[in-house]
């Protein structure tokens, strides 16, 4: 149920983001989804890729600081109120969202939301109990 995500520390200076994508591209790693959190000094780039192990290895080889984290992906109907219904469920069950980001599926037209929770297992339980489909990891990385 869980999706592997990699987080990369990026100093806030020009060319760093390009360097990450160049390194991944040269190793035939494809980026499925990404989000960037930034401060004035540094950023945290979060990626879901088609080959997490290769991505981790090549980034480390290029001296990037990288962590692997577990997130989950949820399919949301691409229509008004789609996301709200999920967030309400989480709120009612006191599940705290650390951060989230979204992308739209190529086929099917549904939106996929990536969630990071401090307690992933509880979150999955609550979501499935409420009839929300939590996507399988492979499904997202192979999209």
Partner 1 sequence: MMTPHKIWNPTAECMPREQRRAVQLARLKETLVRVADHVPCYQKKFSELGFQAGDLTSLDDIGLLPFTTKEDLRQNYPYGMFAVPMREVVRIHSSSGTTGKPTVVGYTREDINNWTELVARFMTAAGVTDEDIVHIAFGYGLFTGAFGLHYGSEAVGASVIPISGGNTDKQLMIMQDYRSSALVCTPSYGLTIADRLEKQGIDPASLALRVGLFGAEPWSEQMRTELENRLGLIATDNYGLSEVMGPGIGGECLCKQGMHIAEDHFIAEIIDPDTGEILPEGSVGELVLTSLTKQAFPMIRYRTRDITRLHYDVCDCGRTLARMEKTRGRSDDMLIIKGVNVFPTQIEEVLFQIKGCEPHYQLMVDRVNNQDILEVQVEVNEKIFFDEMKQQRSFVDQVEKKLYSVLGLSVKVKLVEPSSITRHEGKACRVFDRRQ
Q: Does 96 bind partner 1 (CB under 8 A)?
A: no
Q: Does 21 bind partner 1 (CB under 8 A)?
A: no
Distance CA 115, CA 96 (A): 10
Of 41, 80, 81, 106, the residue at the interface with partner 1 (CB under 8 A) is: 41
* Token code pair at residue 40: 């004035």
Q: Does 120 bind partner 1 (CB under 8 A)?
A: no
Q: Which is nearer to partner 1, 47 or 140 (CB)?
A: 47
**Residues contacting partner 1: total by CB under 8 A:** 21
Helix, strand or coil, per DSSP, at residue 19: helix
Distance of closest approach, residue 78 Cβ to partner 1, in angstroms: 27
Q: Give me the residue label for tokens 């060319």.
A: 15
Q: Does 98 bind partner 1 (CB under 8 A)?
A: yes
User: Positive or negative, the Cα torsion across 89, 91, 94, 96?
Assistant: positive
Q: Does 36 bind partner 1 (CB under 8 A)?
A: no
Q: What is the maximal distance between C-alpha atoms in the chain?
A: 45
């Amino acid at each position: 149920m869980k999706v592997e995500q990699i987080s990369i520390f990026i100093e806030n200076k020009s060319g760093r983001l390009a360097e990450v994508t160049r390194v991944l591209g040269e190793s035939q790693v494809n980026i499925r989804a990404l989000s960037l959190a930034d401060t004035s000094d540094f950023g945290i780039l979060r990626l879901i890729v088609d080959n997490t192990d290769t991505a981790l290895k090549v980034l480390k080889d290029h001296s990037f600081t990288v962590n692997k984290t577990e997130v989950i992906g949820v399919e949301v109907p691409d229509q008004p109120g789609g996301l709200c219904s999920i967030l309400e469920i989480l709120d009612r069950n006191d599940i705290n969202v650390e951060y989230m980001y979204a992308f739209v599926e190529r086929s099917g037209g549904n939106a996929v939301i990536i969630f990071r929770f401090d307690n992933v297992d509880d979150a999955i339980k609550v979501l499935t109990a409420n009839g929300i489909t939590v996507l399988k990891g492979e499904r997202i990385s192979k999209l």
